[in-house]
């Protein structure tokens, strides 16, 4: 299989039909069959992943996968197993596309796991192996995982005046402001051919790290008063949640404002929403929101709002992460360097919910409205 | 404060108004004030918690807190700090009830955390301290945490033909079968005075451990075909999710069937749904479903469905847990003893999603419908 050509990157991956993608898988497989028939060493080419091939596109403000390619040869004893696995994943994924089925990445692992012939050798030993093949396949046929009908666990919740339509499910139309105070449980696949953003009545999207803060803002009537759409990520945002935020940003033209704990982990959650992640650098165009802004928590908030009593000590993991982040190209600006330096000097962190130290409603009536109105953001 | 009298256990804790509960807190506080005024050692009595005071009520089939009480004296240097903390939590909770505010247990911790006078002593050092006081207070004024307007993080999702009404939130009425394939994000507090179960059109509730299996069953149209309400717990069920399942069981008279991974962790999730948990033994009447049944996964499924290739090795934690569970009174029946013995002998576990090894739809078209029809349950 040939790796994606650069020009293909301009193709709109979201509008392709399952049939088209299945065809690309078949074409790639066909060329491998041909190699076998002509007694050539079957070769699979894909993009090199990992830090060494991730670039920061300064102009667009997002992470990208570089041009480095990697080759896998069936007759290389070090590659043979992985080659076999990639073929299994390709074949099964093509079946899903043909049958209009979707599967979780855990399910495809289990569906393909079996003992080979009379040997004691399993096709896969753990899900990490099949997950790797899926990413290879995404890159090799130049698409996104969602378009291979694959997904991971859903996570994340949506609340606010946005009307969605699930085209695949009875044409359900629902407004995420009218589901009581729970909100909608965001699916793992939020592609436009399935989920339509039908109507939006809001000024911005507020992405919130903790489920409890999401609930607090709902209880305070924040979404209505501020005309905000609330997205709770529950920690690092799942891919479906990132996709939904990206679509609210690009389709509904809503600014994205991110609100996390004031610690390296929270700031990294922000950077993944904004610039994309290293693991999914190839898909930043579909997931990232380069214009996103960061509203808090910052370590400056501690002094500004007298929260000295409710900070916590940074853990070793936080310190390590802060050091790494200081070196990332997408954190090379004055504001974030200062913030990270403060974290490393003061060795403290501050949680979103620590704002309750002022009063429960403080975050909804003071902190967020004022900061957002005055545009007191970090870039 | 006097610990709850036994007769009060028969009171319906769910119908009490915030005013009534606030009054009980005030009465208890009043008696402590009186002790101070008459120069007696202020004393706070609550129920003893932890394993040593948990009993299994065989007749009702649920865990209960025993009668052991514990006393805390302000003038005992070992108790003074905890005493002070309990008073802070009591007072703040009363404020919430008076002001009709609710808070997460993390928020009340932050709201109360401050340095005492000119000392360097903080009221609380970590949330564990305030959490303990909240449970003390629940027991002391004989109510449930939800009625103190307190809650933890929300988690869990609901899908199926059930119509809910959020009385507090614009009287929102919504049907959890009509929210696309995402479903409703279950709130952390599901009390009848806020959330009404308005209409149910289903034969049973299926409680599912993993979010991915929940999504699979939705994709397969399982809820409609089987007239089932699906509840995804995402691991151990949060309190709000347990409360909702309990209410669907008691109010809507639906049988509860639980479907988890085939391992001690999954089986324990089941037992918490069914008999309640040790930590919340005092509230089993509001959370447990003693008639719940277990549909799978069992280790017998491995042979029955030829899943030998897709089992996993049990980890040390699983083995330790299985040994503990074998000794619990509520696992003292032939079926579960056998199951646990098998786990300890074979040292394997089997995940829900391993059923994908048969085919993606197998779980929805074969495994669950057949087992449920034939009532192949574990007790």
Query: Which token pair is B43?
Result: 């004393």
Q: Which residues contact B376 (CB under 8 A, 6 or more apart)?
A: B295, B370
Q: Which of B110, B214, B286, B294 is catalytic?
A: B110
A266-270: average pLDDT: 97
B203-213: average pLDDT: 95
- pLDDT computed for residue A5 by the predictor: 43
DSSP assigned state of B16: -
Are A317 and A186 part of one and the same domain? yes
CATH of the domain at A112: 1.10.10.10
Are B41 and B25 part of one and the same domain? yes
Asked whether the predicted pLDDT for residue B46 surpasses 90, the reply is: no
CB within 8 Å of chain B, chain A residues 8-27: none
Domain-embedded: residue B1: no
Angle between helix A264-275 and helix A334-346 axes, rounded to 10 deg: 160
Give the pLDDT band of residue B13 (cuts 50, 70, 90). Answer: confident
CATH of the domain at B322: 3.40.1360.10
* A152 or A13, higher pLDDT: A152
Give the pLDDT band of residue A49 (cuts 50, 70, 90). Answer: confident
Q: Give the Cα separation of A368 and A362 in Å (integer).
A: 9
- pLDDT computed for residue B11 by the predictor: 67
Give the pLDDT band of residue B3 (cuts 50, 70, 90). Answer: very low
Helices (H) and strands (E) in chain A, counts: 14, 17
Give the pLDDT band of residue A280 (cuts 50, 70, 90). Answer: confident
Percent of chain B at pLDDT exceeding 70: 97
Q: Which of A229, A228, A327, A237 is nearest to A273 (CA)?
A: A237
Are B29 and B106 part of one and the same domain? yes
Q: Is B40 left (phi over 0), alpha (psi -120 to 50) or beta?
A: beta
Query: In this predicted model, what pLDDT tens digit does every residue of A186-243 receive, in sequence order?
Result: 998 899 989 999 999 999 999 999 988 999 999 999 999 999 999 999 999 999 999 9
Domain-embedded: residue B331: yes
B211-225: average pLDDT: 94
Are A301 and A349 part of one and the same domain? yes
Asked whether the predicted pLDDT for residue A165 surpasses 50, the reply is: yes
- pLDDT computed for residue B342 by the predictor: 97
Domain-embedded: residue A379: no
Domain-embedded: residue B119: yes
A104-114: average pLDDT: 93
Give the pLDDT band of residue B4 (cuts 50, 70, 90). Answer: very low
- pLDDT computed for residue B282 by the predictor: 86
What mean pLDDT value characterizes chain B?
92
- pLDDT computed for residue B5 by the predictor: 43
Residue at which a domain ends, from B151, B178, B207: B151
Are A243 and A184 part of one and the same domain? yes
Give the pLDDT band of residue A120 (cuts 50, 70, 90). Answer: confident
Query: In this predicted model, what pLDDT tens digit does every residue of B79-97 receive, in sequence order?
Result: 999 999 999 999 999 999 9
B186-205: average pLDDT: 94
Are A16 and A97 part of one and the same domain? yes
Q: Do B184 and A187 touch (CB under 8 A)?
A: no
- pLDDT computed for residue A11 by the predictor: 67
Chain B contacts of A120, Cβ < 8 Å?
none
| Domain count along chain B | 2
Chain A contacts of B231, Cβ < 8 Å?
none
- pLDDT computed for residue A48 by the predictor: 86
Full residue range of the structural domain in which residue B31 is found: 6-151
Chain A contacts of B114, Cβ < 8 Å?
309, 357
The C-alpha of A149 sits at a distance from chain B's nearest C-alpha, in angstroms, of 12
Residue at which a domain ends, from A128, A151, A174: A151
Are B46 and B142 part of one and the same domain? yes
The C-alpha angle A113, A116, A122, rounded to 5 degrees, equals 45
Q: Give the Cα separation of B222 and B369 in Å (integer).
A: 9
Q: Which pairing describes strands A195-200 and A162-166: parallel, antiparallel, or unpaired?
A: antiparallel
Asked whether the predicted pLDDT for residue A291 surpasses 70, the reply is: yes
Are B142 and B222 part of one and the same domain? no
- pLDDT computed for residue B295 by the predictor: 98
- pLDDT computed for residue A1 by the predictor: 41
Reply yes or no on whether A96 is catalytic.
Answer: no
Q: Do A215 and B187 touch (CB under 8 A)?
A: yes
Q: Which of A123, A90, A147 is nearest to B357 (CA)?
A: A123
Say yes or no: A237 contacts chain B, CB-CB below 8 A: no
Query: In this predicted model, what pLDDT tens digit does every residue of B100-148 receive, in sequence order?
Result: 888 999 999 999 999 988 888 899 999 999 999 999 998 888 888 989 9
Are B121 and B179 part of one and the same domain? no
Chain A contacts of B311, Cβ < 8 Å?
none
The C-alpha of B323 sits at a distance from chain A's nearest C-alpha, in angstroms, of 26
Q: Where are the alpha helices (DSSP H) in chain B?
A: 18-37, 80-99, 105-112, 127-140, 211-219, 222-226, 239-250, 264-275, 284-287, 299-304, 316-327, 334-346, 362, 368-373
Asked whether the predicted pLDDT for residue A7 surpasses 80, the reply is: no
Domain-embedded: residue A11: yes
Are B132 and B165 part of one and the same domain? no
The C-alpha of A280 sits at a distance from chain B's nearest C-alpha, in angstroms, of 21
Helices (H) and strands (E) in chain B, counts: 14, 17
E strands within A43-137? 43-47, 54-57, 62-65, 69-73, 103-104
Q: Give the Cα separation of A279 and A65 in Å (integer).
A: 9
**Considering only alpha carbons, which residue of chain A is nearest residue B220?**
A101
Percent of chain A at pLDDT exceeding 70: 97
Q: Do A216 and B104 touch (CB under 8 A)?
A: yes
- pLDDT computed for residue A82 by the predictor: 93
Q: State phi, psi for B254 to the nearest 5 degrees.
A: -95, 135
Got the DSSP string for B224-249? Answer: HHHTEEEEE-SSSPPHHHHHHHHHHH
Q: Which of A98, A327, A368, A124 is nearest to A226 (CA)?
A: A368
Q: In the Cβ-directed half-sphere of B256, how many Cα atoms lie within 13 Å?
A: 31
Domain-embedded: residue A378: no
Are B119 and B265 part of one and the same domain? no
**Considering only alpha carbons, which residue of chain A is nearest residue B309?**
A114
Query: In this predicted model, what pLDDT tens digit does every residue of B230-285 receive, in sequence order?
Result: 999 999 999 999 999 999 999 999 999 999 999 999 999 999 999 999 888 888 99
B312-316: average pLDDT: 92
Residue at which a domain ends, from A119, A151, A183: A151
Domain-embedded: residue A1: no
The C-alpha angle A148, A153, A155, rounded to 5 degrees, equals 120
Measured from the Cβ of residue B345, the count of other Cβ atoms closer than 10 Å reads 9
Cβ–Cβ < 8 Å for B307, B352? no
- pLDDT computed for residue B1 by the predictor: 41
Query: In this predicted model, what pLDDT tens digit does every residue of B274-300 receive, in sequence order?
Result: 999 988 888 899 999 999 999 999 999
Asked whether the predicted pLDDT for residue B7 surpasses 60, the reply is: no
CB within 8 Å of chain A, chain B residues 329-358: 351, 353-357
Which among B104, B164, B166 has the least Cβ separation from residue A215? B104
Got the DSSP string for A157-214? Answer: EEESSEEEEETTTTTEEEETTSBTBT-EE--S---TTTEEEEEE--SEEEEES-HHHH
- pLDDT computed for residue B155 by the predictor: 87
Q: Do B174 and A178 touch (CB under 8 A)?
A: yes
Which among A113, A166, A310 has the least Cβ separation from residue B357? A113
Unique residue bearing structure tokens 């949060």: B238
Are A359 and A310 part of one and the same domain? yes
Domain-embedded: residue B60: yes
Asked whether the predicted pLDDT for residue B350 surpasses 70, the reply is: yes
A297-305: average pLDDT: 97
Asked whether the predicted pLDDT for residue B206 surpasses 60, the reply is: yes
Cβ–Cβ < 8 Å for B350, B375? no
CB within 8 Å of chain A, chain B residues 104-123: 104, 106-108, 110-111, 113-115, 122
- pLDDT computed for residue B10 by the predictor: 58
């Amino acid at each position: 299989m040939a790796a994606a050509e650069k020009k293909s990157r301009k193709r709109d991956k979201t509008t392709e039909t399952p049939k088209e993608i299945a065809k690309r898988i078949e074409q790639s497989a066909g060329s491998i069959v041909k190699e076998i028939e002509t007694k050539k060493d079957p070769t699979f080419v894909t993009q090199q992943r990992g830090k060494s091939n991730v670039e920061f596109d300064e102009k667009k403000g997002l992470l990208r996968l570089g041009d480095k390619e990697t080759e896998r040869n069936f007759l290389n004893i070090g590659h043979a197993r992985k080659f076999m696995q990639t073929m299994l994943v390709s074949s099964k994924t093509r079946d899903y596309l043909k049958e209009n089925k979707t599967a979780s990445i855990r399910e495809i692992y289990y569906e393909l796991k079996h003992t080979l012939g009379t040997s004691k050798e399993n096709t896969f030993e753990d899900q990490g192996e099949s997950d790797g093949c899926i990413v290879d396949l995404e890159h090799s046929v130049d698409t996104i995982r969602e378009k291979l009908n694959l997904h991971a666990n859903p996570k994340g919740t949506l609340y606010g005046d946005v009307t969605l339509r699930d085209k695949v499910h009875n044409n359900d139309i629902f407004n995420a402001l009218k589901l009581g105070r729970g909100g909608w449980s965001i699916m793992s696949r939020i592609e436009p051919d399935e989920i339509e953003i039908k109507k939006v009545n809001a000024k911005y999207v507020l992405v919130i790290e903790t489920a409890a803060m999401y609930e607090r803002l709902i209880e305070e009537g924040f979404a209505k008063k501020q005309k905000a759409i609330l997205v709770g990520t529950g920690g690092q945002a799942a891919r479906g949640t990132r996709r939904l935020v990206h679509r609210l940003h690009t389709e509904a033209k809503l600014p994205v404002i991110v609100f996390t704990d004031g610690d390296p982990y929270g700031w990294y959650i922000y950077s993944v929403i904004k610039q994309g992640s290293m693991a999914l650098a190839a898909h930043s165009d579909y997931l990232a929101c380069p214009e996103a802004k960061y509203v808090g928590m910052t370590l400056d908030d501690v002094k500004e709002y007298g929260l000295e009593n409710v900070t916590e000590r940074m853990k070793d993991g936080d310190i390590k992460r802060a050091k790494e982040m200081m070196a990332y190209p997408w954190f090379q600006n004055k504001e974030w360097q200062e913030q990270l330096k403060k974290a490393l000097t003061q060795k403290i962190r501050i949680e979103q919910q620590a704002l309750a130290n002022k009063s429960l409603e403080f975050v909804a009536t003071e902190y967020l409205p004022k900061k957002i109105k005055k545009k007191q953001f970090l870039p």
